[in-house]
Structure 1
Amino acid sequence: MKTETTPNGTLEHWTPEEVAEAFAKDEIVLIDVRTPQEYSFERIDGALLAPMQAFDDRHMPGQDAKRLVFHCGSGVRSRKVAEMCQQAGFDRVAHMEGGFGAWKEAGLEYTGTDMTTGAPKQMKKSG
């Protein structure tokens, strides 16, 4: 994990592998900030949907036990949302560097759409 000092604290940049490991251990809350359309097409199972365009820090989960980790398609929107959370006083936030594209490139499992039927389908990069 890389860290960066921002005006409102330290922002953590997690790799997809770090996110997957912490998520599997139930150590983080993973929040997808993409649009509902993007989420319905492909998503990380168990990630919460909180689109950036509707962001309101008052509706974010509490941080009593788990760090909030945001992700989007490329890492740009998730970084912005993490910074907005920091501005609102959250101190345990991070984002997934490279976004969902990096998650897929790493070969991690997700739910996609079977283009022949339109049905959800478990996906993982082959070989």
Structure 2
Amino acid sequence: MEIKPEEAKARLDKGEKIILLDVRTEEEYNEKRLPNSILIPVEGIDKDAPAKLTDKNAAVFVYCTTGGKSAIAAEVLTLMGYTKVYDLGGIEDWPYETVNGK
């Protein structure tokens, strides 16, 4: 299921418990990411998600650079039994605050 940046920001601002999941490389994550996001590169999503995303009913907003990897990761997570996965698309389309650094 897709979610637009405006809707995602509104839900985050309301204080909803949402996991922001960056599925890019560690280098891209350190360069620019959404505040409070976690990193699981798309290549390892199937093996790393169970340890980092323990609640399969938690809301997970998945993003990457332009939307390609996030769509793949969202589909994999859904197939793994995660119930509230939203494809946020690319950080390039996120007009709000971002952070950088390790």
Category of TM-score, reference length = shorter chain: 0.7 to 0.9
Task: Give the distance between the partners of 1:19 and 1:76, measured in 2 at CA.
Answer: 18
Task: Give the distance between the partners of 2:7 and 2:76, measured in 1 at CA.
Answer: 22
- Counterpart amino acid of residue 55 in structure 2: G
**TM alignment of 1:32-43, pairs within 5 A:** 32-43=22-33
Indicate the RMSD between aligned Cα atoms, in angstroms: 1.6
Q: How much has 1:62 moved relative to structure 2?
A: 0.8
- Counterpart amino acid of residue 27 in structure 2: Q
Higher strand share: 1
CA contact (8 A) 2:56 2:81 kept: no
Query: Which residue does the alignment assign to 2:11?
Result: 22
Do structure 1's residue 100 and structure 2's residue 88 form an aligned pair? no
Do structure 1's residue 47 and structure 2's residue 40 form an aligned pair? no
Q: TM (normalized to structure 1)?
A: 0.68
Task: Give the distance between the partners of 2:54 and 2:38, measured in 1 at CA.
Answer: 10
Q: How much has 1:111 moved relative to structure 2?
A: 1.5
- Counterpart amino acid of residue 12 in structure 2: F
Question: After the TM superposition, which parts of structure 1 deviate over 3 Å for at least 4 consecutive aligned residues?
Answer: none
- Of the three residues 45, 51, 62, the one matched with 2:55 is 62
Residue correspondences, number: 97
- Counterpart amino acid of residue 111 in structure 1: V
Mark the runs of 5 or more structure 2 residues left unpaired by the alignment: none
CA radius of gyration, larger in? 1
Mark the runs of 5 or more structure 1 residues left unpaired by the alignment: 1-11, 113-119, 121-127
Task: Give the distance between the partners of 1:13 and 1:39, measured in 2 at CA.
Answer: 21
Q: TM (normalized to structure 2)?
A: 0.83
